Structure 1
Amino acid sequence: MTNIGGGTVRLEGALSERIPFTAYDAGWVVLCIGMAIGSGIVFMPLQMGIKGIWTSVAAILIAYPAVYFLSKLFIRSLSASGQCSNYTGIITEYLGKNWGILLSVVYFVNLTKSMFAYSATITHDAGSYLQVFGVTQQSLASTYWFPIAIITFLVAIASRGERLLFKVSGPLIIVKLSVVIFLGVSMIPYWNFGNIEFIRPQSAIRFIQDVTLSLPFAVFSIVYTQILNPMNVAFRKVESDPAIATYRALRAGRYAYMILVVSVLFFAFSFLFSITAEEARTAVAQNISALALAARVMPGSSVKVLSMVLNIVAIMSAFLGLYLGFSDALKGIVINVADRFMSRGTTFDRIFPAAMAMVSVVILSAWVIANVSSMALIQWTAPTFGIVSCLIPCYLVIRVPALKQFRSVSLWFVALTGILVIAAPLFKLFER
């Protein structure tokens, strides 16, 4: 068997030209993009509008390089595992069963809070759009049946596996990436540089506080780590050489990253130039996204229609992609616990996906009905992302001798970013 760590490095050099880019690779690039263009992109412009240009630029300059480094580190550290099946199994192989279950619970919580955010956003925004276009007199999100119907529909699709997701999510993601670019262009006539606050920070401490609070939104606008382990595992299943499988996963992530940086930055700043800080605060208070806000405040039907299409498609496809990671995490936890007390059989494996789908519908619907702020959820639960996507991979590289070839300066940059993201809720307590 090829040495995974050293083999991956070699393949990224001269041998990389011998590995073709297939439709299967393209499918994962599309799913990574779909995972990234979700709640982050529809909420980051609001945070940018509230905090101003200097804070936003500083947060982006920290977040975007960190996303690139942590994505590579995440794939490399997990792909070096011998069995490479699910997140819990990989951590268990490195650190043992007890650490495996503990860190997997944190991983699961990180994915679950994203599922909560997507579920709430798509339900509330769908209700808002129906109201804006005169279909209903009030938002259906306040009912019980509407959230349950939408979430049941999404879970039914997402639970069918990656091949169906390629067929369903692929066209949706292509549409939403196109709309992101087109919507950014269509908002140019509404640009008003007077909307941008160039006010100097009151103090260095206040500036650091605002940047730290904005950092999770900047990270979540292009991050796709939630789908990296399912992608890595999928390539290991179709590729006999683990080093080649790892290279293909890294390449797919790299292509997705480059596309996301260009398109998301253009869209976010176009939006920033088109809304006022007061409009951004109003949207946050009403628990709606930047796109739903655009449909309300910008004249003309084109922006309204494009905003609606992008918002619904973005959150829907991100939900579908995230479900792969969510199911991977939940499966790993259940198997870790079950293997301690029983011998699993075919019956267990057969009924588990359906049981997980039903539990998911109940939990997510209950969350939506509770109507917790999506913006607050992103900030208060940011530490789980910092732990799972930043600190755990860094810890593995430092702790596990087999991963020592991945130690570099970027490792410490990722660790620092993770610490800042974890600190975001603390700064939220002192926000004025």
Structure 2
Amino acid sequence: MSVTAPTQTLPIGKEPPHVKAGMALDEWKAAIKFDSTDWGWVIMSIGMAIGAGIVFLPVKVGVLGLWVFLASAVIGYPAMYLFQRLFINTLSSSPKCQDYAGVISGYLGNKWGALLGVLYFIMLVIWVFVYSTAINNDSASFLHSFGITEGLLSENPLYGLALVCALVAIASRGEKILFKVSTGLVLIKLCTVALLGVMMIEKWDVANVGAIPETGAGLKDAIELLPFTLTSILFIQSLSPMVISYRSKEKSIEVARFKAMRAMKIAFGILFVTVFFYAISFTLAMSHEQAVKAAEENISALAMVAQGMDGTTLKLMSLMLNIFSVMTAFFGVYLGFRDSCQGLAMLALKKVMPEDKINKDLVTKGIILFAILMAWGAIVLNLPVLSFTSVCSPIFGLIGCLIPAYLVYQVPSLHKYKGASLYLIIATGILLCVSPFVAFS
């Protein structure tokens, strides 16, 4: 008499991913095979992260001190990984995934969707301001440093308009074209980040380490620096268009989630190792006085150091990193900005006319024109980009940390994401929300 072994039943939520997706193992492996689209989103995520965050971080660290940066990094980097993971999980689990406002509407209703859609839009607007102003000022600074121009082209409004038009034209060409353009730029700047970090070793000065600050002052400065630490490798702005793209291409939500999560993990790992070393190395090579001067002139650390360099090679590397960083970050922000505008525009238009009567092509062209005028306006006003990071941090805290955490508690299907890591995400969200008040107090 044969005895049948008891079937082991896994707890709900612990099933292998292919079981959750309702696929055989071979089907799952074929569905999640790494392809050019996956590589494209890894590239876009890295390109998004190595932007204003990395080029302006040494300036802020130089002003506040290296010990403060290390304290904020211990909090910021693990929390950033966790809240980006949660952000992907909450977005990918949505029944409908066409834009951020629509996802929130599906979970919490149209009023919440509109409110948080506007907040998400404001966050992206701020970063459009940051990157358009940075590329205008820094490209002009480099051209002047190399002796190509007698004065600063950034003082001419038409120069800024031409730059913005060129960037928006490239960013509007579609994902495949954008992936191709960004791949070379991102690989060059990633290698440049690593090489610059190594080359800066010979310029290290122990005096730049500074004294360990008092506990109270150090904690205040660490909270103020937290948004800058996060944005040095943050790419939450590209996660929404990435998840939406995967959901539109994949029939299975589990496949879309897996691919988005894999792209995020690969990008995060590469960024953490490369950028953290670069930030430490560059900070040790730049004095407090240089950092203060860069902050006053509203330029990045790279542009600041290039002014005092004799080596053409180092100046060229700094140029490539700075300009390519801001360009590819602008591309990543523009994708999110476009989707956000599209979602808000459709929500507004559907209130006054049937959806099938909306001219989507006209909406797209309107978004392009709006983006150009808005970015150009920021350039003409020469808005202080370092202040934007602090001002933007409460929106990061809400959208990246507190809202996903709230969804986990409110939506039964998301209860599985509760745990100790959620408390760290909530704590980080609160710190990001209070950071501007600390910075401007």
Q: Tell me the TM-score normalised to structure 1 length.
A: 0.95
What are the equivalent positions in structure 2 for 1:361-380 lying under 5 Å apart?
A: 361-380=372-391
1:35 — aligned with what?
Answer: 48
8 A contact 1:179–1:310 mirrored in 2: yes
Corresponding residue for residue 279 of structure 1: 290
CA distance in 2, matches of 1:235, 1:367: 33
Deviation of the 1:166 alpha carbon: 0.6
Q: CA deviation at 1:80?
A: 0.7
Alpha-carbon distance between aligned partners in 2 of 1:64 and 1:424, rounded to the nearest angstrom = 16
1:195-210 map, 5 Å? 195-197=208-210, 199-202=211-214, 204-210=215-221
- 1:58 aligned to 2:76? no
Q: Distance between the aligned counterparts of 1:129 and 1:362, measured in 2? A: 25
1:39 and 1:7 mapped to 2: Cα distance?
Answer: 39
1:146 counterpart residue number: 159
Aligned residue for 2:173, secondary structure, equals coil
Aligned to 1:332: 343
Q: Distance in 1 between matches of 2:383 and 2:37?
A: 38
Given that residues 67 and 209 in structure 2 are in contact (C-alpha distance below 8 angstroms), is that contact kept between their aligned partners in structure 1? no
Distance apart, 1:345 and its partner CA: 3.5
Residues 81 and 132 from structure 1, CA distance in 2 versus in 1: closer, same or farther, beyond 3 angstroms? same
Instruction: State the 1:397 CA deviation.
Output: 0.8
Report if the CA contact (8 A) 1:43-1:290 is conserved. Answer: yes
User: Retained in 2: the 8 A contact 1:45–1:290?
Assistant: yes
* Structure 1: runs of 5 or more not aligned: none
Structure 1 residue 75 corresponds to structure 2 residue 88: yes
Which residue identity is paired with 1:60? A
What is the CA–CA distance in structure 2 between the aligned matches of 1:389 and 1:335, rounded to whole Å? 23
Which residue identity is paired with 2:17? R
Aligned equivalents of 1:7, 1:247: Cα separation in 2: 15
> Hey, what's the Cα distance between the residues in 1 that align with 2:92 and 2:147?
50
Superposed displacement of residue 11, structure 1: 5.1
What's the offset of the Cα at 1:346? 6.4
The change in CA–CA distance for 1:290 and 1:218 in structure 2 (over 3 A counts) is same
The CA distance in 1 between the partners of 2:385 and 2:15, in whole Å, is 39
> Conserved in 2, the CA contact under 8 Å of 1:187 and 1:303?
no
- Computing the radius of gyration from Cα coordinates, the structure with the larger value is 2
State the partner residue of 1:10: 17
Equivalent residue for 2:438?
427
TM-superposed CA distance for 1:7, in Å, is: 8.5
Q: TM-score, normalised by structure 2?
A: 0.93
1:111 and 1:119 map into 2 onto residues whose CA distance is: 12
1:349 corresponds to: 360
Cα 1:11–1:39, aligned 2, differ >3 Å: closer, same or farther? farther
Q: Cα offset for 1:196? A: 1.8
Partner of residue 416, structure 1: 427
Instruction: Give the AA of the match of 2:282.
Output: F
What's the offset of the Cα at 1:381? Answer: 2.2
* Residues 66-93 of structure 1: CA deviation (Å, up to 9, x unaligned): 1110111000011111111111110010
The reply to whether residue 133 of structure 1 matches residue 146 of structure 2 is yes
Amino acid at match of 1:27: G
Answer yes or no: is 1:175 the counterpart of 2:182. no
SS of the equivalent of 1:35 reads: helix
Q: Which amino acid aligns with 1:354?
A: K
CA deviations 1:126-174 (Å, max 9, x no partner) are 0101110111122111111011010011011111221111111111111
Question: Counterpart of 1:72 in structure 2: which amino acid?
Answer: R
CA contact (8 A) 1:383 1:423 kept: yes
Matching residue within 130, 139, 148 for 1:117 = 130
Residue 295 of structure 1, CA deviation: 0.7
- Worse-matched range after superposition: 213-222 or 415-424: 415-424
Q: Secondary structure at the match of 1:372?
A: coil
Correspondences of 1:217-366 after superposition (within 5 Å): 217-345=228-356, 348-366=359-377
- SS of match in other structure, 1:187: helix
- Residue type at the aligned position of 2:310: P
Say what the alpha-carbon RMSD is for the aligned residues: 1.8
Residues 7 and 342 of structure 1: CA distance in aligned 2, closer, same or farther (over 3 Å):
farther
Q: How far has the Cα of 1:299 moved from its partner?
A: 3.4
Code of the residue aligned with 2:244 in structure 1: it is: V
The residue aligned with 2:5 is none
- The correspondence for 2:97, drawn from 63, 84, 90, is 84
Question: Per the alignment, do residues 24 and 315 of structure 1 end up closer, same or farther by CA in structure 2, a change over 3 Å counting?
Answer: same
- Counterpart of 1:387, as a letter, is L
Find the aligned partners of 1:299 and 1:66 in 2 and give their Cα distance: 40
Percent identity (aligned)? 38
User: SS at 1:375's partner residue?
Assistant: helix
Aligned to 1:85, the other structure's residue is in SS state coil
Asked if the contact 1:147/1:368 (under 8 Å) is kept, the reply is yes
Equivalent residue letter for 1:294: V
SS in 2 for 1:340: coil
**Distance in 1 between residues matched to 2:136 and 2:315, nearest whole Å:** 17
Question: 3-state SS of the aligned residue for 1:20?
Answer: coil
Residue in structure 2 matching 1:401, options 409, 412, 417 = 412
CA contact (8 A) 1:37 1:221 kept: yes
- The CA distance in 1 between the partners of 2:105 and 2:116, in whole Å, is 9
Deviations 1:369-400 (A, max 9, x none): 10111111111222111111111111111111
Deviation at 1:6, TM superposition (A): 4.1
Once the two structures are superposed, residues 294-337 of structure 1 have per-residue CA deviations (whole angstroms, 9 ceiling, x without a partner) of: 21123312221100110000000110111110111111111111
Tell me if the contact between 1:36 and 1:224 (Cα under 8 Å) persists in the aligned partners.
yes
Alpha-carbon distance, 1:183 to partner: 1.2
1:391 corresponds to which of 389, 402, 405? 402
